[in-house]
Amino acid sequence: AIEKAGYTPIKAELERLGRISSLDEIINEIATLRTRGIASPLFGFFVGQDSKKVTQYIPQFGQGGTTLPDRDYYLKNDARSTNIRKEYLSYVTDMFALTGVDTATAAKNALAILALETQLATAQLSRVEMRDPKKLYNKFLVEDFSKTTPHLNLRTLMGKMNVNGQDSIIVSNPSFLRTTDSLLATTALGTLKTYLQWYVIKNSAPYLSSSFLNRNFKFSKVLTGQKEMTPRWQRMSELTDGTLGELLGQLYVEKYFKPEAKQRMKELVSNLQKAFEERIKNLDWMSDETKGRALIKLSTFVNKVGYTDKWKTYDGVIIKRNDLLGNLRNTSVWGYNERVQKLGKPVDKTEWGMTPPTINAYYNSRNNEIVFPAGILQSPFYNFSADDAVNYGGIGAVIGHEMTHGFDDQGRQFDADGNLRDWWTEKDAEQFKMKADKVVEEYSAFTVVDTLHLNGRLTLGENLADIGGVNMAYTAFKKTPQGQSDKKIDGFTPDQRFFLGWAQVWRENSLPETAAQMVLTDPHSPGEYRTNGTVIHMDAFYKAFNIKEGDKMYLPPNKRIHIW
């Protein structure tokens, strides 16, 4: 059915956009493409907690409107970026041609889209700037901000986005929205129409016939180097998880998640929390005043393990066997409405930001919570039948990692209640920044591909969490019977097995194209540097493997960074 339909599922949409004859209609589409689950053009929008009043939800506007993975793809002129832009033009041209547009017009459309997206990219903050919660907290009365964005006509726009009865908004990048507003006034109507059509095409392409799917994949190969398309069953599984994840999650938990795994995980979390508490008390660079507040924050962590206690039911979502794109839009509409309807209601702290099958974990600063979905409780992170050393080096370090996020360069700016509020003494904050700058320096020296270095500022939070997490896990491990023994398993001591447990979690094969993209977009360091960049600061690592001066991984004691 998908093959036979070609681009019919989006034909009426494209034709409708083609008939637009005024800027007011463009603004209307910018709003209603969202409410109809089709696309989110021009800027980002979400409903989230107010960082300085976390008991309340507030509408939040952010930057957006671009297709390539990062603003640098539009702005840099190195060979890699220039080639990607050339391939992007070819991709956009081909996609329009697949919808029946003649080649010359399709090529013209591509140039117009690249030019407009480049202007949007120029106004965007960098990913490093986006890591500063204070910089992103700009609260306005709707009426006041509207004066600086007259063409967007915020009050009317928000009404069309089903966002009603709200006096205030947060705008993470005010100058981006102002630039967007002036672009609406100065860009040809035809270009704006083409841009909206492009949003419909690119968002729908993965779910249309094979000609769209294959051309889409051909361009993603340029970005990531991926050799073969992900099998259809896997794409559909990921799609189901991304749209109806808490229905799928119930099946996953029933089949794969053992109650004893949840119990064991809770024990590990408790052990790690005790280790962190001990380490905070022993810090030699932090005052008792800040330590006291840090300990309060640590003790109020909310721990969530496995799955939610309150499943979403997706009431009203209609799923039809023969309408993939329609199903997707229905779930998107449901998700959008669910978020918008939170406005004016108390914050629901039982909610999860990840589904149970997800192999990941997270720290949420506004709820001061650490969350471990069922999916991460499997090898290589956790093995029910493995010894403590391997599990503490694996899932133990992950638990410590998420806890440390509460105290990394971003998390430390939120208090025990989750509010964006400075609770550090000035001197302690300075000490922390000095230590963090050394971490930036160290990781920025790692070369990932060709001459492409890691961005130590972009990866700072994750690197701090890795360094803290492994240290925390090691402290906790040393309190276990195995941690206090010398008994070897498979020829390795307990300490060696701990570090091997950490290393095997991050084993990966990465294509150069993927690695290059990750350096620009991913706040995590690649696996090799997550592993080695962390352990070289731990005296226990040197002792475990008898590492001496002159060895490849040797770092002089005065260069080893100790923070948490």
Alpha-carbon torsion angle 379, 380, 385, 391, nearest 10: -130
**What is the CB neighbour count within 10 angstroms for residue 77?**
7
The pLDDT value recorded for residue 258 is: 87
How confident is residue 551, by pLDDT bands cut at 50, 70 and 90?
very high
pLDDT in tens, 476-520: 999 999 999 999 999 999 999 999 999 999 999 999 999 999 999
450 pLDDT more than 90: no
Global pTM?
Answer: 0.94
User: Span 35-43, mean pLDDT?
Assistant: 96
Exposure string for 388-414, b = 16+ CB within 10 A, e = fewer: bbbbbbbbbbbbbbbbbbbbbbbbbbb
Question: Strand, coil or helix: what is 199?
Answer: helix
Phi, psi of 267 (to 5 degrees): -65, -45
Question: How far is it, in rounded angstroms, from Cα 42 to Cα 193?
Answer: 12
The pLDDT value recorded for residue 141 is: 98
The pLDDT value recorded for residue 476 is: 98
Q: Which domains does the chain have, with CATH numbers?
A: 2-229 (1.10.1380.10), 259-310+350-559 (3.40.390.10)
Helix (H) or strand (E) holding 370: strand 369-373
Residue that is written with structure tokens 């006291």 in the block: 292
User: Span 535-564, mean pLDDT?
Assistant: 96
What distance, in Å, lies between the first and last C-alpha atoms of the chain?
Answer: 57
In this structure, the strands spanning 44-50 and 452-453 are: unpaired
pLDDT in tens, 144-180: 999 999 999 999 999 999 999 999 999 999 999 999 9
- Cis, bond preceding 380 (omega within 30 deg of 0): yes
Q: What is the mean pLDDT of the chain?
A: 97
pLDDT in tens, 389-442: 999 999 999 999 999 999 999 999 999 999 999 999 999 999 999 999 999 999
How confident is residue 451, by pLDDT bands cut at 50, 70 and 90?
confident
Q: Which residue, 412, 413, 307, 416, is CA-closest to 353?
A: 307
- CB under 8 Å to 397, separation ≥6 — which residues? 466, 469, 470, 472, 473, 501, 502, 505
Q: What DSSP letter does each residue of 383-396 carry, written as one string?
A: -TTS-HHHHIIIII
The pLDDT value recorded for residue 288 is: 98
Question: How far is it, in rounded angstroms, from Cα 490 to Cα 479?
Answer: 22
